[in-house]
Structure 1
Amino acid sequence: MLGFFAIGYFHTNHLKAQYRSSIKNETVLFNNIDAVLPFGKLDQYNIAVCTPDSNLFNPFQDQLFRYATVNYVGFKNFDEQVKYSNVVIVALKSEDLTTSFVEQLKQAERNNKRIVLAVFGKGDVLALLDDLKSPILWNTHLSDETQKNAAMTIFGGLSAVNKLQKTYSSTFTKGMGEATSQTRIQYSLVKNDAVNLDKLGKKIDAIAEEAIAQKATPGAVVMVVKNGQVIFEKGYGYHTYSKEVPTTIHNIFDLASVSKIAGTTPVIMRLTEQGVIDLNKPIGDYLWQAKSTNKKDILLKSVMLHEAGFTPFIPFYRNLKPGDVQRNYSTTHNVKVADSCYLLNNYYRDVMWPEMLNSEVKPVGNYVYSDISMYVMKEVAEHQTAIPMQAYVQDNFYGPLGMKTAGYNPRERFSKSQIIPTEQDTSFRKVLLQGYVHDQGAAMAGGVAGHAGLFATANDLAIYGQLLLNKGEYGGERYFKAETVDQFTSKQSESSRRGLGFDRWDPNVKNEYPSKLSNPTVYGHTGYTGTCIWIDPANQLVYIFLSNRVHPQVSTKLLNLNIRSRIQDAIYEVINEGKK
């Protein structure tokens, strides 16, 4: 009850995104013709980063990497090294800026490359850049802080401000740096007057370490974003209980049912606002195979609310026949469901999907959480777009947003070592699952399903959470109308707490869900593997917890110890203390 009354009731659609930076940015931006900076959609860029000394400029390079995939090159053979890049970001000390190198930059401009030059040191060298048509960022000195801030300015993690400067050349006769806005998450764990970061860290550390000591999970990552600033991110424990590989913030996790809101739901949001689908129309209007079933008249809105009367789940793997699964790839078995485990071709199409369509339906209107719901919505989306869902989310969301690891079947794109292992499967695949979806049905569907299959880092989820806090805008680009975000994330059911696809704060305060100090604006989702994301417009907060609590076998200790909710409450406790 304290959490409810302390914060009060807010309508989600009244709460607009609020970027608030506690960083004083000394970076001066010149020559930002056509507002090139901050960069917009990131999928159109192939970025090379050029520095004379990789070690010296490591903070700059690392900060850039938080936003985009970049290729590091040196000054030697500059022209050849950047040949296949359409964006070239150069960072150097003022004494390294020579007339010869400036000519190479001009040539790169003539080769239609977008150049961004970050100079650290004496400003008089800027006179060499009179004829350069590209954005120039300047700091009076080189430090870890100025490097990180310059990098964040390039991508909109930090705004540049108007600053009166000494005139060094005809290019800068106005002597005024150009202003930009923050458009992306800010990565800099600096002192924050509103939040006691030391206290926050100690509270989260204690709970996370308890989880590991009690073997609720071998490892975890916690990330907290407030007002567009990362105020906490940390990896705990190890990939497994053998303690060989530490868990880091860059590890990729199986998100389980978080896939429902970070994979399928944004697709449905986009198609709804485009008028491609209508949630008030029945399944039978979109799926031919459903027209002859008991599902033909069920509205899509009921499906999204888990009120369609579907069975919670079907254990498809228990119905496998001898010969359906084999250890080696063949022309008849090319659906890889784990290492050394292949399923009969078209098993989803020929067996699983028909079984779902013909499964029992109970009266519509009662809330029954069901994985079948999102299988159905994926089918609706793919039939309407003629695009596989994994391709649709990459092209329309993850790529442009800079969600670098988010996607399905990560072993096709990333090394095994980057991905956190889940269960030692003893009943179906009989192998350690690492980079193959834990959920059996999703695996049998080829790793791509509406309810599960998505993998990502905490950072990717943070971007998605901030996009929603921003009412559909991120990186200076609009992905959803604000009213679409409000519609899907607000309470839409008369019989449950649910939004459309999204889970929400439970008004029965006895349930303390998702945590006892959360409030009516909170929405998000949890995942079976030990994951969650909760977005809080009232506090401009994104909270992410990722773990592999199902390793080596499924355990309920994470739930019994209430780890995810207690960490969320610890965040609220520190934030609320800062308000006093």
Structure 2
Amino acid sequence: AVNFALQHLVSTGKLDLNKNISHYLSDFNDHPEDDVKGKNRLRVIDLLHHHAGFPASWNYYDPKAAGHLYSQSRSKTLEYLVKTPLSYEPGTKQIYSDIDYMLLGLIIEKVTNERLDTFVENQFYRPLGLRHTLFNPLQKGFKPPHFAATERKGNTRDGTILFPNIRTYTLQGEVHDEKAFYSMEGVSGHAGLFSTVDDAAVLLQVMLNGGGYGKQHLFSRSVISQFTEPSKTNPTYGLGWRLNGNTDMEWMFGKHASNKAYGHTGWTGTVTIIDPVYQIGIVLLTNKKHSPVINPKENPNQFEGDAFATGKYGSVITAIYEALHHQ
């Protein structure tokens, strides 16, 4: 959702990746109490490269973890996003951060003057005829049985985690991610989009086609090249997209993807691969987190499904390439 929106806005000249974040978010600045400073120098592109200095996550929804940035209200969370402190000197590391994409979602909302879900659903998904790609599907006519479950006992990690308003029922059709659900009303730059393999295949084909599908033109081929160019500091990072830049990415891309392949994973058990050399798009949607937690007290985020072949991704992707090679 966010990358398609950004690629569209860059293609139409409505957003400049090299402008400071503060150009779009006026309240984005350092505070005297911040241990690490440098927000005034950060650009939009730094968020996309995941070297802006933000921690991997910030649990806004949990008062014990979030402190003065505790929020279970979307409007309040958007205020707190720009106040979230940096955790390391910008540019010195490359750490995937949900905060980066939450901020990018907010920038899109500021530029378009629309909420993220409204913008992408009206601008991309409906014109492409994608009826199953949307945020908050239970509010838009779908029912829980239409969806794969994503955790057995809500967000409790088999009963070991507790915070205000935590869900304890099996999750179906609600975004699993806690920040997105409790703090962002289901609509966030880092999580919340639902889809199907058929719909996702169209979105991957848009990238393979150079930015269009049928009569719909979303963004330019040159912008795709810009977003899939390797970072100077890490060849496995593009702008948002992960790249098959070296053997470190075999766990995701398998053994046979070209060095031009790119894509991304999702925490609940999803991966997309786009390989322009072979003109192939792969969508693997699993619900590996809908399984028992292996050792809840030691590592509440390690589920039995993570050890499944499907949950490890790479072996499945490898098998697809090998099947194609043998045709």
TM-score by length of 2: 0.83
Answer yes or no: is the 8 Å Cα contact 1:506–1:512 preserved in 2: no
Report the counterpart of residue 455 of structure 1 in structure 2: 194
Equivalence for 2:48: 304
Aligned to 1:533: 272
* 1:415 corresponding residue in structure 2: 143
2:34 corresponding residue in structure 1: none
Residues 515 and 462 (structure 1), Cα distance of their counterparts in 2 relative to 1, 3 Å cut: same
2:57 pairs with 1:313: yes
Q: Which residue of 2 aligns with 1:575?
A: 324
Q: 1:559 to 1:550 in 2, by over 3 A?
A: closer
Q: Are 2:88 and 1:362 equivalent residues in the alignment? A: yes
Change (3 A) 1:282 1:459: same
Retained in 2: the 8 A contact 1:506–1:513?
A: no
Paired AA for residue 265 in structure 1: N
2:172 maps to amino acid: Q
How far the C-alpha of 1:510 sits from its partner, in A, is 8.0
Amino acid at match of 2:107: V
Going from structure 1 to structure 2, the CA distance change for 1:573 and 1:355 (only over 3 Å counts) comes to closer
- Counterpart CA distance in 2 for 1:299 and 1:372 is 14
- Between the aligned partners of 2:253 and 2:46, the Cα distance in structure 1 is 23
Q: Is the 8 A contact 1:308 1:361 kept in 2?
A: no
CA distance in 2, matches of 1:562, 1:493: 32
CA displacement 1:354-381 (0-9 Å, x = unmatched): 2652323411222111000001101111
Aligned to 1:435: 173
Aligned to 1:9: none
SS at match of 1:308: coil
Counterparts of 1:274 and 1:459, CA distance in 2: 28
CA contact (8 A) 2:292 2:303 kept: no
Task: Indicate conservation of the 8 Å contact 1:535/1:542, yes or no.
Answer: yes
Q: Quick one: distance in 1 between partners of 2:272 and 2:79?
A: 29
In the alignment, structure 2 segments of 5+ residues that lack a partner are: 32-36, 157-161, 294-301
Do the aligned partners of 1:287 and 1:380 also contact (CA within 8 Å) in 2? yes
In the alignment, structure 1 segments of 5+ residues that lack a partner are 1-262, 322-342
Q: 2:121 aligns with which of 376, 394, 405?
A: 394
Q: 2:281 is matched with which residue?
A: 542
Once the two structures are aligned, what percentage of the paired residues are identical?
30
Residue type at the aligned position of 2:134: G
2:101 to 374, 390, 395: 374
Which has the higher relative contact order, 1 or 2, with Cα contacts under 8 A spaced 6 or more apart? Answer: 1
Conserved 8 A contact 1:509-1:516: no
CA gap 1:362/1:417 in 2 versus in 1, 3 angstroms: same
- Does residue 523 (structure 1) correspond to residue 279 (structure 2)? The answer is no
The C-alpha deviation readout for 1:95-121, integer Å capped at 9, x for no partner, is xxxxxxxxxxxxxxxxxxxxxxxxxxx
Q: Report which stretch shifted further, 537-546 or 425-434.
A: 425-434
Shift of 1:279: 0.7
Per-residue Cα deviation, 1:425-445 (whole angstroms, up to 9, x for no partner)? 233222221111100000021
Residues 148-547 of structure 1 correspond to what in structure 2 (within 5 A)?
A: 263-293=1-31, 294=37, 295-319=39-63, 347-351=73-77, 353-354=79-80, 357-365=83-91, 366-413=93-140, 414-423=142-151, 424-425=153-154, 426=156, 427=162, 428-444=166-182, 445-508=184-247, 511-547=250-286
The CA deviation at 1:353 is 4.0
Deviation at 1:384, TM superposition (A): 1.2
Contact 2:230 2:245 in 1 (8 A): no
Letter in 2 for 1:576: H
Partner of 1:560: 307
Please tell me the residue identity of whatever aligns with 2:75: R
Pick the structure with greater CA Rg: 1
Indicate how the Cα distance of structure 1 residues 433 and 512 shifts in structure 2: closer, same or farther if over 3 A, else same.
Answer: closer
Deviation sequence 1:158-181 (CA, Å, 0-9, x none)? xxxxxxxxxxxxxxxxxxxxxxxx
Note the C-alpha offset of 1:481.
1.0
Distance in 1, matches of 2:249 and 2:49, equals 23
Aligned Cα root-mean-square deviation (Å): 2.2
Paired with 2:273 and 2:305, the residues of 1 have a C-alpha distance of 17
Q: Going by fraction, where is strand more abundant, 1 or 2?
A: 1
- Tell me how far 1:484 sits from its aligned partner: 1.1
Distance 1:510 1:358 in 2: 30
Q: How far is 1:291 from its partner?
A: 3.5
Aligned residue pair count:
294
Contact 1:522 1:535 in 2 (8 A): yes
What CA distance in whole angstroms lies between the structure 2 residues aligned with 1:355 and 1:282?
16
CA distance in 2, matches of 1:553, 1:378: 32
Q: Flag the 1:559–1:304 CA change in 2: closer, same or farther, 3 A.
A: same
Question: Which digits, 9 at most, give the CA deviation of each residue in 1:245-286, with x for residues without a partner?
Answer: xxxxxxxxxxxxxxxxxx111111111122211111111111
